[in-house]
Chains A and B, each alone.
Chain A
Amino acid sequence: MNSNLRPKLREIVSELTRLKDILSAAIVRRDGLVIAHDLPTESDARKIAAMSAAIVGTGEMAAEELEHGRFLRSIIESDVGKILSTGAGPEAILVTLVRRDGNLGLVLMALEKAARKAGSLVTQGGAGVEVS
């Protein structure tokens, strides 16, 4: 177990939220448990983790049923903003809340880079032990 894993993952999350278009970010397990987050409260993080696991689960089902290959990402737009859920390796999901008028192109670029980094860290470190 890499003892630096937690601060490293936390750093990925903070780096994302430094972009002004990204309101908050979290790295969660595909089963809906939190790994690392940048949200005001633990209960907010747990809710986002649960919701993004539901979103990704449904997205995976749809991609499979429609023979669209492997699920990559889901973008949900609402009145207030966007919820972006991207796969981060086989075990984790990177989820971000984005401003309604945010620059999606820029956000997606940052997100893909962060997801790759988080994915390889989680795979190396064993995410299961890191759940808070």
Chain B
Amino acid sequence: MEHLMSDLQKAMKAVRQVPGITAVAIVRRDGIVIDHLLPKPVDARLVAAMTAAIVGTSEMATEELYHGKFLQSIVESEKGKVISVGAGDEALVVALVEPATNLGLALMTIEKQAAKVGDILAAC
């Protein structure tokens, strides 16, 4: 179990190394926090709940519009982006990103680590 948590931490640290990514969390699709690397003032439970809401609505939209399986969602606002990427069947990786971040680099890293997180969680 400890091994699992350190593997997850490693994946999140890899994501946070990207300049401009301020916070990372791994959450269950039902909105419960699995683990996080969030700066102090950010409430992990709030991030998890908002991510589950975003992904829930996105999944409904992709299904209703016959767009296949939901893969990821980016919500852009004035002060940054919330990127939610599926990590296996049960989890999501969510990252909070500053507005001027290199989105290509951020997405590449998050997608890679999300796939790893999915594998780690599937193996346990």
Chain B residues whose C-beta falls within 8 Å of the C-beta of A79 in the assembled complex: 62, 67-69, 71
B80 CB-CB contact with A under 8 Å: yes
Segment 34-90 of A: residues with Cβ below 8 Å from B: 47-48, 51-52, 54-55, 57-59, 61-63, 65-81, 83
Contact between B46 and A72, CB atoms less than 8 A apart: no
* A17 to B66 alpha-carbon distance, docked (Å): 19
Contact between B60 and A54, CB atoms less than 8 A apart: yes
* A70 to B54 alpha-carbon distance, docked (Å): 16
Of A48, A57, A71, A80, the residue contacting B68 (CB under 8 A) is A80
Contact between A61 and B50, CB atoms less than 8 A apart: yes
* A47 to B62 alpha-carbon distance, docked (Å): 11
CB distance from B76 to the nearest CB of A (A): 4
Contact between B71 and A65, CB atoms less than 8 A apart: no
Size of B's binding interface in residues, CB under 8 A: 32
A97 CB-CB contact with B under 8 Å: yes
Given contacts A48-B65, A77-B72, A78-B71, contact A63 B77 (CB under 8 A): yes
Contact between B77 and A65, CB atoms less than 8 A apart: no
* A70 to B78 alpha-carbon distance, docked (Å): 5
Enumerate chain B interface residues (CB-CB to A < 8 A): 42, 46-47, 50-51, 53-54, 56-58, 60-62, 64-80, 82, 96
Smallest CB-CB A-B distances: 9 pairs: A79-B68, A69-B78, A63-B77, A69-B79, A78-B62, A78-B67, A51-B61, A62-B50, A75-B74
Enumerate chain A interface residues (CB-CB to B < 8 A): 47-48, 51-52, 54-55, 57-59, 61-63, 65-81, 83, 97
A-B contact pairs, 20 of them (CB 8 A): A47-B65, A54-B60, A55-B58, A58-B56, A59-B75, A62-B50, A62-B51, A62-B54, A62-B75, A62-B82, A63-B82, A66-B42, A69-B77, A73-B75, A74-B75, A74-B76, A75-B73, A77-B71, A78-B70, A79-B69
